[in-house]
Structure 1
């Protein structure tokens, strides 16, 4: 009974902390401007099923894609057993599903063990790729000590959880063979059977090992759950809504600013009455000027570096890194949220996403080729953030680069980006 009480207290505490942190992230995301992403729900569900659930964009890099699918599917499926662990922990039972499921239970446990081994091996390979092979896309000036450590922490946690799961089963298997106490024969153990000879043959020691691994496994999962909101691995949860609300239009199609479009319509048609609009700023200077979808993108980014690895500006040595754009947006949004919690909604810290986090050199290095958007495994759109910040620099500050200012002048005077007058436009034919 004492164990059950302790378990329930830990479970309720973990659920409360997770709910509190998720609510804070939701609040931060909703600081963004509104944008309608509720159209065409059928297509959105299909996109989510294909990209988030089906991992369709992950396999474009086959090795990483297959390993990620193993970790993703294995970890999710294995955690189905968490339901049994929760029930056992609350009611003090042991393998409560064994009797009602019969032979199916053995099949499930056997499958869980094989998946656990695959997850463990995949995580080892991921650690090798990051820390021994040191793939280039895992480096960059934005990849400081914390982002690198964060990735390693998650992989190590998953290895420890899978090891605890298999060791727990190995001890359980030996206790079943000894017909000790309540350890009735339940489940098949194709992997942990090979670990069993490494464990003590004494029943009392085996019980300690089995219980210790049981507690470590469930507390580890609850701790992992509460670590996610502080980690880039929050994409485990946000990948699904993020792909659902992703852009359905062609990647290269830009959205006009409605306020500017209405002004042009009014100039062309005196009878046109533009609708009332609450425009406090053209473009985006800080995170609160971005849309809530941009902010959800920032929290969904897993820092995999696929976007930066295909960015032509970054490849040619320019300062731009699409991954850094997303990481900076998330860091600034977290800072704004913390300021709200500490100082209230009227507090200003005289900082902004532009200049304090993202430099103008980064913004103007972008070629708007959409390679980063196409490469992202969860449909994140760094280009949209870049373009909104460019709009602010041009329309609010009038600080476009000289080459663009020349183009703007030519368009105003000549009706084309070039310096030639309209009367000379067809001279090339002579």
Structure 2
């Protein structure tokens, strides 16, 4: 019976990580529902981009205060992972502060003191974020696409992080008091908990302190496992996916759109019958016609675009700089990404239920994203530039536009008029070609 705690711990650990990896496997399957795309060019630049943007958070600096607070929370995530290693060893083998015997008491004292200072900064950051999100009235955090679950999700994450850090301090404070009484081996330095919480615990009996320390320790451990598995349902999945998302980001100049090889070859043949489309597109068959032009569902988007949807943290920086949204249009780049993820999850539920995807009569376009939204886009790339993890909402918008124009001939009247003018007058404006140089006479 003396090993019952270790057995329970090991079972919880295996179950927690098992569920976590099952969720990751499902996310991977869902991303693979998209079209394959080769984003392995320039690997050196991709590693640099990931290190700079995902790890270094370089794009967060445009809002310095939020960037600093986010850095504290990011460090808190690192704290949890470093500390989890020690908790795992202690839980499996029944040891107490295992790392002290590995790195020595002096270095361990510095390590635990650093963790406490950082944990205090995390608590300060999440409290400020909670107030800012719920009471301060930041416009991009109060838009209608955040009503309901998205807002609750953001608040739950902050509450969970606060609870985990509070349990961390409670565990350390009760541990420190027991150490001072000679009931536990003296390991570590706890500048925050020993001065703030420990005086509150000094009047407690040894047994009560022991159960308080063990209770906080178990709460902290179970909380980490819960948080880890909650990520699948949360916008905070970017904690993990920001790294591959930035690695697979589009490194081409912003504003450069992908051209369909079949369309390019056809235009070359129309403009110059002597053109060799094979030379222009050596890896493409110019006579091959895609099954569908553009996208009206997630199956038509590429896998990086689906990864983008899972990586979105719903911060709203893209929507805050969108000129269409600022001027009252219906478009919100953040909502484009949220709707894409919702549709992925809808399809995933369908697959889980039926064993394979069965047509549900729904599509990403019209059922989730409205045509009014995508035609409001000015293609300025402001949303792409603003995203802290290099998500590209514009690419999804352009694929849906391509579908409407090339598959359904459903472009707005203004666009149809422009294309008619280009066809008839070789210019977007409605005047005779003979008059094209009249402006020079002035």
Matches within 5 A, 1:59-138: 59-102=61-104, 103-138=106-141
Deviation of the 1:269 alpha carbon: 4.1
Give 1:343's aligned residue. Answer: 354
- TM-score scaled by structure 2? 0.95
Distance 1:67 1:426 in 2: 58
The structure-2 alpha-carbon separation of the partners of 1:78 and 1:346, relative to structure 1 and needing over 3 Å to count, comes to closer
Give 2:231's aligned residue. Answer: 228
Query: How large is the Cα RMSD of the aligned pairs?
Result: 1.2
Q: Which moved more, 1:272-281 or 1:256-265?
A: 272-281
Is 1:353 aligned to residue 355 of structure 2? no
Give 2:16's aligned residue. Answer: 14
SS of the residue 1:353 aligns to: coil
Deviation of the 1:278 alpha carbon: 6.2
Deviation of the 1:266 alpha carbon: 3.6
Matches within 5 A, 1:15-414: 15-102=17-104, 103-180=106-183, 183-194=184-195, 195-199=197-201, 200-267=203-270, 268-269=272-273, 272=277, 275=285, 277=288, 279-414=290-425
Instruction: Pick one of 419, 422, 426 that aligns with 2:433.
Output: 422
Give 2:281's aligned residue. Answer: none
SS of the residue 2:153 aligns to: helix
Distance 1:352 1:76 in 2: 39
Q: Which moved more, 1:357-366 or 1:271-280?
A: 271-280
Distance 1:237 1:278 in 2: 37
Distance 1:287 1:16 in 2: 28
- TM-score scaled by structure 1? 0.97
Distance 1:130 1:375 in 2: 20
Q: Tell me if structure 1 keeps the 8 A contact 2:350–2:357.
A: no
Structure 1 gap ranges (5+):
none
SS of the residue 1:170 aligns to: helix
Q: Once the two structures are superposed, what CA deviation does each residue of 1:101-140 show, in whole Å capped at 9, x if it has no partner?
A: 2210000000000000000110000000011112111122
Deviation of the 1:414 alpha carbon: 1.1
Deviation of the 1:317 alpha carbon: 0.7
